Amino acid sequence: MGVIRVLPPDGIEELLGAAIVGRIACCAHGATGDGRPYLVPLAYGYDGEAVYAHSGPGRKLDLMRAEPRVTFEVDHAEASDRWRSVIAEGEFEEITDPDQRLRALRVIYPAPAEIPALGSQTVVFRIQLTARSGRYETPD
């Protein structure tokens, strides 16, 4: 067993920028949800301020539209005692402006990658991060 420490801000940024898949937790009460958290993996891009992604219709979008406050998590593990993890809080925002949408897709798919053809029901969105924290463990 190792020692768990606070991940410094530069480590938080490095992990958010390097990972490809994170997890988003969203939750809603009332007609759109039962109050139970919903956790789902999310392929994303990160620009230093926000997480960008796209999704087709479904539970995740329904919940985020009803309650835009979400939690985002990303981690990297090499062994049970060698890992890094970041948890960030944020606000969901749909991106409908064509120029902003293209910019968001470029964050998700940096050049020279091609932006894939997206279906007409695909929603491009950002999670504007409002707080970040991180931890890491190393062997003693």
Distance CA 102, CA 54 (A): 12
Percent of the chain with pLDDT over 70: 97
For 55-97, the pLDDT digits (tens) are 999 999 999 999 999 999 999 999 999 999 999 999 999 999 9
What pLDDT score does 34 carry? 75
Q: How many domains does the chain have?
A: 1
Examine the pLDDT at 126 and tell me if it is beyond 70.
Answer: yes
Task: Compute how many other C-beta atoms are within 10 angstroms of the C-beta atom of residue 42.
Answer: 19
pLDDT at 109 over 60: yes
Q: What is the CATH number of the domain that holds 21?
A: 2.30.110.10
pLDDT over 60 (residue 31)? no
Q: Which domain holds residue 76?
A: 2-139
Q: Supply the DSSP string of 11-77, one letter for each residue.
A: HHHHHHHH-SEEEEEE---GGG--S--EEEEEE-EE-SSEEEEEE-SSHHHHHHHH--EEEEEEEEE
